[in-house]
Structure 1
């Protein structure tokens, strides 16, 4: 009995999940099965006659042409991978098995879509990279740049904008992308600020297409805004702009939600470290450097002065009769006075100089990089006159005068601790002389 035979036709091939593609020697499609539409997004009739290489991802075209040459030379390619661009602009990863048919003078290939597998592999790498960056980043701008670089490997058309809520003013500021000037920020898309504010106000994810008046290429692009949440609540928003002519997929959203979680955690940790660092080195009331930071800066300044053979001065300032202010108006008014005094002293010196709150109503000014002793005396007198101007406390004008002592390097001493002691001693001499004066110390024994 003879065995029956059956020759498959195109209808049967169209039932396959993998796509069958036939390309002639010129590189044009002469046959594609129905599965091509599912994989590439084009109907079979749209693909016929098209040049195959034009659909290949630009970065993969050179090696794809090399593989085609080898196939036409008779080398079977059972597992060749490359990327194609779908009709909707999405990237699709293809695993090919291809051979040359000398009888028909065509390349016959089977295309298997491995996009999901590639995505999962990349996702694991991306998630690990983001987690590691969040743990190891030294500062927030560095973290944001690392996250952008990592995510772009998977979502190359994504642009990030990140807004944080200022803890004091409750206003938004944008640490990423870093805007060097106000003009740079003005060139950002108009959607950035209002969308970030909407995400924060609604405490929800916002997904929105570009404005209808955008160009045809931009009308299908979309904006994705996600809230940055910490244990304290909403601390900001992350805005992702898809610049490609395609919308954010659900997988994109899930990835960016993970990014938000990691970024929010890192921001909260960095803010906590910043607060601890500030508490260790700055006075909470006046926001001036405290005694510990003053000693660090004085140590560094003396080393620099010795190296550069320049002058250095310490001005020790004490407010005359400050206790009377506390007794008359209360400690809240006393705190207000100290804050105002700190601001006035800062306005009298250069940005490179240091104004520190030493203790109570005592302040120390570190002056660097000057060539004549008269400079320190001039600054001390400038501070004395500034503090002699009335302060308004509890609706009343109140005058406060300072006693200021000056110690100089190298004139008085080259020792760090002794320099501070001499300035302190000179301040007491000014106070004993009636206050509201400047006194230079005598040279140390």
Structure 2
């Protein structure tokens, strides 16, 4: 831990010394650049503010110029109004705009502004310098002037050419008769291009923009250099940055790709905005030029600082390198020893106490950590001590003699020896001894684990040989060329071939001559594909006895390369005879079962088909699928399997079952009914079920006949409704469902009022026709889920299942009563009857079907007593209320 701490401190010191100068240099450069960038940001903000102020001053000059012209135009309309009204409406434009006339006193004559005089109906009675519609009564300005008595000019900015989006500033003023009535209007038009095209007091730089925008219409007219443009797509807003200059604005959609610094001046009286944008490159040119000079100065200063720092760093590295080389030279040997996988001893011959200079022991000069662990002392404590004193058993085992011999002969020695420390297990060491100046260098490696592994491997090989010799399977091992290297005793017993004769290619002599070529081809294929091979093979013993065997061959792979092959032989002669006998027995069984009309099959305890007869195969092998070997679910499909699964479980638990199964025939696609019998098969001791037999018989014809007879017994022959028997069965089922599911139902008992007079008057044929018509109308009135029955004569019943409210049944009873009031047309005879109904409810009472029907009958009697043509409902159940 102390060493690690020293290393960390040393590394931290080196890092501090090497990083101090670069860190200080970078900090100085970062400070200088940060200050420069900050100063440049301040200079840029100042330059931009001055540019905005410049644009704003120019926009204000443009606004003042345009405002002056527009005010003069306003005065011109006022002057015309005064003269027009003084002359009683006789003043015309020619006199007003003549040279040195009234108009020239206010407006420059070179403008030649379009001007028009309109009468009270909006007709243009006089005009100059422009095109005007013959009648302008529908124009917004005219309607405004006609409806207002204010003596003020009306200014607007209409579009005069939709195709080019050209627009004009329009100034109009009301004219009055002497009595104050509306006499018309004077209209004056000014092209805004005049303000942006001819006004030369705006000294813009290259790519500068000057523009007038109408707040009312969004139309703009402007000039970039010598190019005039008109647009209705330009829109501008104040900058989103809250610290931006208030006089600055930004375009949502710039006119072109030239960056500009824009400013504006509002002209609220005329709904105009004057906008001036100077090229950002022109306005910021001085700032950019000065910034480049400043950055260049900083780059040069930074280069000088870096150069000086590099020189200082180089000198510092040279000094540190010299110190490091000296330290590394001292530690190199130590690091090499500590990193070695071997224990290293550097020892000097010890002759102390010897009379003739004979080496008695060796003194330790240096050891690595692994050697210190062998000595079981810290490294610092063993230096200077004798090896014989620290490890006395090494001296007894001849280690010191070997060191002395190497020192005397000068020949290195390498060997593996055994040693046993006192009270410990035997160790195996591999040591190398090399002579040095008056001493030896020894490396020692503990190879005990490897030696023990080798012993374990030899032991495992012996056990494996014994195991293979005792195996009931014949075993063969070959090399990669299929030359036999080993066979066990079972192989000798199966083939009658001795182990010595089976080596190399001799083992092939045990194979029947007719099977040898097939085996050789299989072996070649196995060598190429590395896929294990398995087959039945005939062996021929020397006495001519034929032995059937099951042979399996697999490659031995070492690092993905074939190192040989392993082959097993199993004597299956007896098994083969048993299989042949079993196949003959199965063939006889199949012949018998294939003659049966029923479908017969056997399923094991894993639900896998193991046998089926021809009828079963025809049913389930429509696509050519072989049933044997497949599971029941795969054969019959998921839906049918879910139905069969409970029966299969019961059969596998030892129960004999008989049940019916409905489904489509696999071959014909027809819905059929089968009678299925499951008979469990027990094992020899009769305790465990190992499968079950299946017998399926098509009983569709019998089933249909039974259903037909049942239906005939439950249908009324005259009306086609359910008869009494069918009604009682359905009533019993409905009451059972209500009890099990906490549901509610209603039962109606009804008859035809005054049916007997109709039957007696018109005869039984008309009576039967009335019963049929009554039944049809009743069925049409009821829900499709309701059961309508005729009990006999003119008595009918209805079962309404799964009703949520009692009112549902009573409302339907009222509908029935109303429906039966309509006359019945019966083969030219019109009959009018009505019906009376008794209505009762049922949920989960302890009541029989007969008692429930009796309740409805009593309520029917109450309806009769109430005058017929009505219904009476019983008391509501608690849940229904």
Q: TM class by shorter-chain length?
A: 0.3 to 0.5
When normalised by structure 2's length, the TM-score is 0.23
Question: Who wins on radius of gyration, i.e. which is larger?
Answer: 2
Kindly indicate whether structure 1 or structure 2 has the higher relative contact order, using CA contacts under 8 Å at least 6 residues apart.
1
